[in-house]
């Protein structure tokens, strides 16, 4: 547990001088993302520790290499949690990597994503300058939002060294409901239920079943569950090990995710039919996130995503030497290249990790 | 300040502070715009331009060269291509309700009004989203969505008039953002015309996009990175019930502790507002909401959700407030009573306006734990400057809105007010907060930026700006100070010490 930011800054300065590519890593739990990493490793595994935590302010600041497990433990003591439910791909996932990859769990449409809950951060840019953006307050519109800009940038703009996040109370009660249902009907049902003012906190379709999670005040959860079960004519039932199901979904430990076939992640209009993905697809986020396992080209998948109002990425496996992220239109590509140069003029951070041209 | 027109250069480049626009050039530029804009959409006469000289912060005003009112995105693109080629500054404008002079015109540039982009393009009740032109009023979104049982979350106090395009530019919040988030949390995509006149969509119908989060970067960028020409927002199901608990306290400290108590108890209220004694009195005289005028601080705690949840949480909130020393607790028993309790808070600004010729609304954020300290300091500054201050506070998320009372007709009083306001913002930074929670930096808070950010951060902001706008034609001079300004403003000092007898001199500071 310690602050090695000075050492990291020195390493970056040296790399900038010599034009050495750096491969930024934390817990190395998500190294399968992107187009692969090459270059001299810059490890944040030792840059750990919770810098400050004010339960009443709902704010925690932690060094980027701090493991999610350690954060969870401290939050749990105060009946709080990371409401964006970051996936764990091992025991070593860090908060910095979670933000760089912009990864959020099943509750994302209702509780927000890591990008939604980040309040500020510290970052070493490609000139070896240790910068501070945002802060520890909920509302802050001074300067550009360079903190949220990092979400999804996969470390291409700088080395995130510290993250401040909004944390939230644990829900008083959670309950999971399950009902056998065809895919298209499930999509319609998820969207219809999400339009009701009820404490829905996750909705997924997997293997011929609709899964719903309710979170909140016990009376509200129970009343809603009772009503929805009655409306289903007895088809909808309480699933007792609900917590385990959502955890396995979040951490990609359901059987769907095993094996080495290409895993595609679609972020689309929640109402899109996308029947071409077939009954093997897994639908999360109330319809807005679709997982599919098939061997196809990025351009075919990107076309499907675009028709469904969204984007696609080759999340895991498959050919990772080509592009793995949704194609960017040329003006956005140019802007991101210029932003990259604005933060990292020598192009030393994770070159080619996100896109070949970045 | 009107435009000097004696300059005879043939290539005016007004971006670097030059405001000399030869009349011949101005006329020929206007002619080029008239080739694709209707004649009444190119305003060049001073009388018609006048209403555009300022936004909601009327102390900051400037006359632009002309005002353009395009009706199509293609026209916006054409305007940007011309302005880019000619290096003419462009200030985008929505309803002009901003409170930081972010839409104050540039003397050597044009104002690009998006007022004619006022259509709701579509509402998708199943996907719970709406596609909007940027000039759609914030409240009009919720009104149009109401028939589907949906609404748009962020509700700035100007929501009757302010537009969604301006909300994106400022990352507007409102009373309910502790629970429902700011503009940045409620957007799916924006369509932007770049400084070069290219049209791009950032974001999608889905929640996450690949690559850097440009949607977040655009949000709150105050018109410095692009012109927003379409906005897709998320809609939320309207809560079944909302009830408000009003609690009076003897001290601000006790009220602050009660805020901490509620949140510590695991309740995230839909809205959690605090008013100080002065604001309570003014609001009660104005709205007759039944506020306890003998209280030093008042909390309004709104809980919304399902009937069961609200019932549960209201009961807990009432007991908590009593246990934490509330001198009075009252819960709304009907929609009418809820509206009445809110009416006082919502009319706090005009209510204060009634007891003073002018008032200046500040906007800083602080960690909530610093509230008592900040209010004590503010009182000290108030005494020092000889200016009264009333406080309304989005207590849930630490967003202060001190209202400084002054009289613009008294020589030097506005300057003193500005100095007082600047000290408050610096105080916010000193306790770990921010110089602006939701109003933006604009022109107004340029002076305080160097106290919140170092030169390295400011330089990085300029580099970000350049990545979008290489020539610097979009809203130049706003949002981020130059390094020279930083040096100058820091030399003046972060916080004037109230013990120095410099109140009069502050007017030139």
Closest CA to A97 of A107, A106, A88: A88
Q: How far is A277 from chain B (nearest CA, A)?
A: 17
Please report the pLDDT score of residue B347 as a whole number: 85
A146 and A13, same structural domain? yes
As beta bridge partners, residue A169 has A80
**How close B64 gets to chain A, by Cα (Å)?**
25
Q: Are residue A104 and residue A209 in the same domain, yes or no?
A: no
- What pairing do the DSSP bridges indicate for beta strands A40-43 and A22-25? parallel
Element holding B47 (H helix, E strand): helix B46-49
Query: From the list B170, B213, B264, which residue is nearest A148 (CB)?
Result: B213
Strand, helix or coil for residue B95? coil
Q: How many domains does chain A have?
A: 3
Residues on chain B touching A270 (C-beta within 8 angstroms): 127-128, 205-206
Pick the CATH number of B14-113 from 1.10.3720.10, 3.90.1150.10, 3.40.50.300, 3.30.43.10: 3.30.43.10
pLDDT of A325 above 60: yes
Query: CA torsion, points A229, A233, A237, A238, in degrees to nearest 10?
Result: 20
- The beta strands (E) that lie in B158-220 are given as 187-193, 199-203
For residues A351-357, give the mean pLDDT. Answer: 97
Residues A105 and A154 reside in one and the same domain: yes
The pLDDT assigned to B346 comes to 84
Which CATH number belongs to the domain containing residue A204 in this structure?
3.30.70.610
Range of lowest pLDDT (A304-313, A327-336, B365-374): B365-374
* Residue A355 covered by a domain: no
| Same domain? A286 vs A218 | no
Domain assignment present for residue A236? The answer is: yes
* Selected residue of B129, B204, B212, B442 to mutate for chain A interface (largest A Cβ count, 10 A): B212
Chain B residues with CB under 8 Å of A33 CB are: none
Judge: B368–A56 Cβ closer than 8 Å, yes or no.
yes
CATH architecture of B127-237: 2-Layer Sandwich (3.30)
For residues A69 and A27, membership in a common domain is answered with yes
What CA–CA distances, in Å, run from A165 to A59, A61, A62, A148? 6, 6, 8, 11
In a domain, A356, yes or no: no
Distance (Å, whole) CA B207 – CA B501: 55
A9 lies in the same domain as A147: yes
Nearest-Cα distance to chain B for A30, in Å, is 16
Domain residue limits at A283: 259-316
Q: Please answer yes or no on whether B200 and A195 come within 8 Å at the CB atom.
A: no
Which of A34, A111, A112, A141 would best serve as a mutation to test chain B binding (most B beta carbons within 10 A)?
A: A141
d(CA B69, CA B116): 7
Residues of chain A found within 8 Å of residue B465, distances taken between Cβ atoms:
144
* Averaged pLDDT score across all residues of chain A: 97
Beta strands B90-93 and B110-113, pairing class:
parallel
Quick one: fold of B359-491? Alpha-Beta Plaits (3.30.70)
What CATH number corresponds to the domain at position A310?
Answer: 3.30.70
Provide the ipTM.
0.98
CA–CA separation, B65 and B43 (whole Å): 9
Cross-chain CB nearest to A217 (options B173, B313, B461): B313
Instruction: Please answer yes or no on whether B266 and A112 come within 8 Å at the CB atom.
Output: no
Nearest CA in chain B to A324: B210
What residues of chain A lie within 8 A of the CB of B126, using their CB?
188, 191-192, 195, 271
Q: Which of A135, A140, A203 to mutate to test the interface with B (most CBs of B within 10 A)?
A: A140
Chain-chain contact of B211 with A153 (C-beta, under 8 angstroms): yes
Distance in Å, alpha carbon of B299 to nearest chain A alpha carbon: 17
Contact across the interface for B365 and A140, Cβ inside 8 Å: yes
Phi-psi region of A112 (alpha: psi -120 to 50; beta: other; left: phi over 0): left
Cβ neighbours of A218 in B, within 8 Å: 312
- Residue B484: C-alpha distances to residues A323, B8, B32, B491 (Å): 43, 29, 36, 11
Residue B228, token pair as written in the block: 């927003």
Highest CATH level, class, for B241-350: alpha beta
Are A10 and A122 contained in the same domain?
A: yes
Where do the domains of chain B lie? Answer: 14-113, 127-237, 241-350, 359-491
Q: Does one domain contain both A222 and A280?
A: no
DSSP code of B306?
Answer: S
Give the end of a domain, one of A199, A232, A250.
A250
Tell me, yes or no, if the two domains B14-113 and B359-491 fold the same way. Answer: no
**Cβ separation of A137 and B398 shorter than 8 Å?**
yes
Q: A135 and A17: one domain?
A: yes
| Nearest residue to A80 (alpha-carbon basis) of A106, A59, A104 | A59
Distance from CA of A67 to the nearest CA of B (A): 23
pLDDT at A1 over 90: no
Are A157 and A48 in the same domain? yes
**Nearest alpha-carbon partner for B348 in B407, B275, B293, B404:** B275
Tell me, what's the pLDDT at B234?
98
CA–CA min distance A51, chain B (Å): 14
Residue A352 lies in a domain: no
Measure the CA–CA gap between A300 and A58, rounded to whole angstroms: 43
Residue A234 shares a structural domain with residue A301: no
Indicate whether A113 and A22 sit together in one domain: yes
**Chain B nearest C-alpha distance from A103 (Å):** 9
Residue B138 contacts residue B116 (beta carbons within 8 Å): no
> Chain B residues with CB inside 8 Å of A169's CB?
263, 266-268
pLDDT 10s digits, A40-84: 999 999 999 999 999 989 999 999 999 999 999 999 999 999 999
A-chain residues near B127 (CB < 8 A): 191, 269-271
B-chain residue closest to A339, CA distance: B467
Written as six digits, the tokens of B320 are 């908590």
The DSSP bridge partners found for residue A48 are: A2
The C-alpha atoms of residue B395 and residue A78 are separated, in whole angstroms, by 21
Under an 8 A CB cutoff, do B263 and A58 touch? Answer: yes
User: What is the distance in angstroms between the Cα of B181 and the nearest Cα belonging to chain A?
Assistant: 9
Residue with tokens 């990597």: A97
A242 in any annotated domain: yes
Instruction: Report the largest interatomic distance among the alpha carbons of chain A, rounded to a whole angstrom.
Output: 69
Rounded mean pLDDT for each run of 10 residues along chain B, 509 residues in total: 35 46 86 97 97 94 97 98 96 96 96 98 98 98 98 93 98 91 98 98 98 98 98 97 96 91 90 94 93 96 94 95 96 95 88 90 92 90 95 91 94 94 95 95 95 96 97 97 93 52 33
Cβ-defined contact of B200 to A331 (cutoff 8 Å): yes
């Amino acid at each position: 547990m310690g602050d090695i930011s000075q050492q990291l800054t020195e390493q970056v300065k040296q790399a900038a001088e010599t034009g050495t590519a750096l491969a930024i890593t934390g817990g190395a739990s998500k190294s399968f993302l992107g187009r692969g990493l090459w270059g001299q490793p810059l490890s944040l595994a030792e840059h750990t520790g919770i810098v400050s935590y004010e339960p009443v302010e709902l704010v925690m600041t932690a060094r980027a290499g701090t493991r999610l497990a350690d954060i969870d433990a401290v939050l749990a003591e105060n009946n709080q949690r990371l409401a964006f439910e970051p996936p764990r791909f091992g025991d070593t996932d860090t908060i910095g990597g979670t933000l760089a990859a912009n990864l959020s769990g099943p509750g994302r449409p209702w509780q927000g994503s890591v990008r939604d809950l980040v309040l500020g951060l510290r970052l070493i840019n490609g000139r070896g300058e240790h910068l501070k953006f945002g802060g520890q307050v909920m509302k802050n519109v001074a300067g550009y939002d360079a903190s949220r800009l990092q979400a999804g940038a996969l470390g291409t703009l700088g080395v995130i060294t510290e993250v401040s996040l909004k944390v939230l109370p644990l829900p008083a009660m959670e309950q999971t409901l399950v009902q056998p249902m065809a895919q298209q009907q499930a999509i319609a049902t998820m969207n219809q239920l999400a339009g009701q003012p009820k404490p829905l906190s996750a909705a997924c379709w997997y293997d011929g079943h609709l899964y719903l999670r309710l979170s909140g005040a016990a009376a509200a959860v129970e009343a809603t569950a009772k009503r929805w079960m009655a409306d289903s004519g007895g088809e909808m039932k309480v699933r007792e090990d609900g917590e385990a199901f959502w955890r396995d979904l979040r951490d990609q430990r359901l059987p769907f995710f095993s094996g080495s076939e290409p895993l595609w992640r679609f972020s689309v209009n929640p109402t899109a039919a996308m029947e071409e993905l077939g009954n093997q697809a897994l639908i999360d986020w109330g319809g807005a996130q679709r997982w599919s396992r098939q061997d196809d080209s990025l351009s075919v998948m990107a076309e499907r995503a675009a028709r469904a109002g969204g984007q696609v990425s080759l999340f895991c496996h498959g050919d990772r030497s080509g592009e793995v992220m949704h194609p960017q239109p040329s003006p956005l590509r140019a802007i991101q290249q210029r932003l990259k140069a604005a933060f990292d003029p020598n192009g030393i951070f994770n070159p080619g990790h996100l896109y070949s041209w970045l | 300040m009107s435009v000097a027109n004696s300059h005879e250069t043939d290539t005016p480049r007004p971006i670097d502070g030059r405001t000399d626009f030869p009349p011949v050039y101005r006329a020929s530029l206007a002619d080029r715009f008239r080739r694709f804009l209707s004649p009444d959409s190119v305003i060049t006469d001073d009388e018609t331009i006048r209403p555009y000289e300022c936004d909601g912060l009327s102390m900051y005003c400037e006359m632009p060269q002309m005002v353009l009112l395009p009706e199509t995105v293609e026209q916006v693109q054409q305007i940007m291509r011309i302005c880019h080629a000619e290096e003419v500054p462009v200030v985008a404008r929505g309803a002009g309700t901003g409170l930081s002079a972010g839409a104050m015109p540039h003397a050597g540039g044009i104002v690009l009004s998006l007022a004619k982009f006022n259509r709701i393009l579509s509402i998708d009740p199943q996907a719970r989203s709406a596609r909007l032109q940027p000039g759609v009023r914030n409240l009009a979104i919720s009104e149009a969505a109401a028939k589907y049982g949906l609404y748009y979350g962020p509700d700035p106090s100007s929501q009757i008039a302010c537009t969604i395009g301006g909300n994106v530019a400022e990352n507007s919040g409102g009373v309910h953002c502790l629970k429902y988030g700011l503009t940045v949390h409620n957007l799916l995509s924006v369509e932007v015309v770049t400084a070069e006149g290219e049209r791009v969509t950032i974001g999608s119908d889905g929640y996450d996009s690949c690559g850097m989060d440009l949607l977040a970067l655009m949000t709150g960028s105050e018109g410095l990175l692009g012109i927003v020409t379409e906005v897709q927002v998320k809609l939320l199901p309207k809560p079944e019930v909302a009830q408000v608990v009003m609690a009076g306290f003897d001290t601000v400290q006790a009220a602050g502790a009660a805020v901490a108590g509620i949140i510590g108890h695991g309740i995230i209220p839909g809205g959690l507002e605090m008013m100080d004694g002065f604001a309570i009195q003014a609001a009660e005289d104005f709205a007759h909401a039944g506020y306890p005028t003998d209280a030093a601080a008042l909390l309004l705690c709104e809980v919304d959700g399902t009937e069961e949840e609200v019932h549960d949480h209201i009961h807990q909130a009432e007991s908590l407030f009593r246990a934490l020393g509330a001198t009075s607790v009252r819960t709304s028993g009907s929609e009418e009573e809820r509206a009445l309790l809110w009416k006082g808070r919502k009319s706090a600004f005009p209510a204060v306006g009634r007891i003073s010729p002018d008032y200046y609304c500040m906007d800083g954020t602080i960690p909530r734990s610093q509230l008592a300290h900040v209010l004590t300091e503010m009182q000290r500054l108030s005494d020092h400057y000889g200016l009264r201050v009333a406080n309304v506070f989005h207590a849930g998320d630490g967003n202060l809105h001190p209202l400084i009372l002054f009289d613009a007709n008294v020589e030097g009083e506005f300057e003193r007010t500005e100095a007082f306001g600047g000290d408050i913002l610096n105080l916010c930074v000193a306790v770990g907060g921010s110089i602006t929670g939701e109003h933006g930096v604009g022109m107004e808070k340029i002076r305080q930026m160097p106290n919140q950010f170092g030169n390295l951060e400011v330089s990085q902001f300029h580099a970000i700006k350049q990545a979008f706008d290489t020539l610097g034609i979009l809203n130049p001079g706003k949002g981020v100070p130059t390094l020279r300004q930083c040096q100058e403003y820091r030399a003046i000092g972060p916080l004037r010490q109230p013990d120095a007898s410099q109140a009069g001199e502050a007017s030139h500071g």
